Chains A and B, each alone.
Chain A
Amino acid sequence: MKQFEALTRKKDNQPVRYLIVDDSVFARKSLAKMVESFGGQVIGEAGDGCTAITEYARTKPDIVLMDITMPQMEGIEAVERIVAEHPEARIVMVSSVGYQDNILAALQKGARHFVQKPVKPDGLYEIIRYVLNDDGVTAPAVAERETLR
């Protein structure tokens, strides 16, 4: 997989920490590979909205990648609950269902952005950069850093 310029946290120059929420194990693995190619670290995973809420409180990630259609509790409701408790939460919706009502509902509940599946790494990278805003910086890609050592 293509390696991107590593995105790090401005405050401590550490890798950006991600929570990935999707009922599909395969989708979670695929997203994890992508964020690792951005220099990120997956610190938690959840397969439904309820687990996402507890995992968010436990891990306090920098970015949440959240699916919409999930069993038990859907992504939009989970966003609402997480943002109510943690207004600083940065949640990016990642769903194959990308119609206007869904996007609007997610944004109104506090999601910061929306990506439609199938996810393209370049697009997701730019969105994460945008969502991190001033709290994220790019550093040379991991491979490049290792070459420099």
Chain B
Amino acid sequence: MKMELIQPFVGSLDAVLAETMKAPAKIVDLTMEEEGYRRKGAAASVTFKGQIEGRVILDMDPQAAAQVAGFLAGSEVHPSEAIVPETVCELANMVIGNAVTQLNDQGFQFKVFPPQVLTEEQCAAADLESEATVLCFETPSGDVHLNILMHYHRRRSRERAPISVV
């Protein structure tokens, strides 16, 4: 997967976590996903379509998600409370929204769909035309995983390219 496509998601997650957790986050692992992604905590998925198509899963350690929920709600939140998955959805929305904004500024156009709580334990594996990358961020409250699955639409890109006149 092209690094310039991943970088906006990394920068965006870093910025959103810094804003909502008031704590540093650092990348501790980056892997290419070959089998289906296995959920680790409270997770949400956002789909996008256009010149680049795919989906991003934000998967947070429940303790980290509860801390963010507590910070944003202004009161202490237990990891088992219903507000926790809702918080992860909203965080995913912010992370993907901010990243997509940066990619759009680079000339990629696409539409983002509302986030959904990920309830499945195991996701389907990427197909041959897609690539999935999993980034693991370490925060003082627990790990945060970002699973980015993308499929670059070459045909659509060619359709938008200017036609040369002989």
A-side interface residues toward B, CB under 8 Å?
1, 23-27, 29-30, 33, 69-71, 95-101, 116-118, 120
Question: Is B86 a contact partner of A101 (Cβ separation < 8 A)?
Answer: no
Question: Is B94 a contact partner of A1 (Cβ separation < 8 A)?
Answer: no
Question: Is A97 a contact partner of B83 (Cβ separation < 8 A)?
Answer: no
Which of A98, A100, A118 meets B19, CB within 8 Å?
A118
Question: Is B98 a contact partner of A70 (Cβ separation < 8 A)?
Answer: no
- Cα A98 to Cα B115 with chains together (Å): 16
Query: What residues of chain B lie closer than 8 Å to A120, measured between beta carbons?
Result: 19
Query: What residues of chain A lie closer than 8 Å to B73, measured between beta carbons?
Result: 26, 29-30, 33
Given contacts A26-B89, A27-B90, A30-B72, contact A95 B104 (CB under 8 A): no
Question: Is B72 a contact partner of A26 (Cβ separation < 8 A)?
Answer: yes
B-side interface residues toward A, CB under 8 Å?
16, 19-20, 69, 72-74, 83, 86-87, 89-90, 93-98, 100-101, 104-105, 109, 112-115
Can you list 29 A-B pairs with a CB-CB distance of less than 8 A?
Answer: A23-B114, A24-B90, A24-B115, A25-B86, A26-B72, A26-B73, A26-B83, A26-B87, A29-B73, A33-B73, A69-B112, A70-B114, A71-B114, A96-B93, A96-B94, A96-B95, A96-B96, A96-B97, A96-B101, A97-B97, A97-B101, A97-B112, A98-B98, A98-B101, A116-B98, A117-B98, A118-B16, A118-B20, A118-B94
Nearest CB of chain B from residue A93's CB, rounded to whole Å: 12
- Cα A33 to Cα B75 with chains together (Å): 11
Closest to B97 in A: A96
- Cα A62 to Cα B109 with chains together (Å): 34
Given contacts A26-B69, A26-B72, A69-B113, contact A116 B101 (CB under 8 A): yes
Which of B16, B83, B86, B104 meets A99, CB within 8 Å?
B104
Query: What residues of chain B lie closer than 8 Å to A98, measured between beta carbons?
Result: 97-98, 101
What total count of A-B pairs have CB within 8 Å? 66
Question: Is B72 a contact partner of A95 (Cβ separation < 8 A)?
Answer: no
Given contacts A23-B114, A26-B86, A96-B96, contact A1 B74 (CB under 8 A): yes
Nearest CB of chain B from residue A94's CB, rounded to whole Å: 11
Question: Is B105 a contact partner of A100 (Cβ separation < 8 A)?
Answer: yes
- Cα A25 to Cα B97 with chains together (Å): 18
Question: Is B93 a contact partner of A100 (Cβ separation < 8 A)?
Answer: no
Nearest CB of chain B from residue A36's CB, rounded to whole Å: 10
Nearest CB of chain A from residue B44's CB, rounded to whole Å: 10
- Cα A29 to Cα B90 with chains together (Å): 12
Query: What residues of chain A lie closer than 8 Å to B109, measured between beta carbons?
Result: 101
Closest to B87 in A: A26
Closest to A101 in B: B104
Query: What residues of chain A lie closer than 8 Å to B19, measured between beta carbons?
Result: 118, 120
Question: Is B101 a contact partner of A24 (Cβ separation < 8 A)?
Answer: no
- Cα A101 to Cα B115 with chains together (Å): 21
Closest to B98 in A: A96
Which of B86, B96, B98 meets A24, CB within 8 Å?
B86
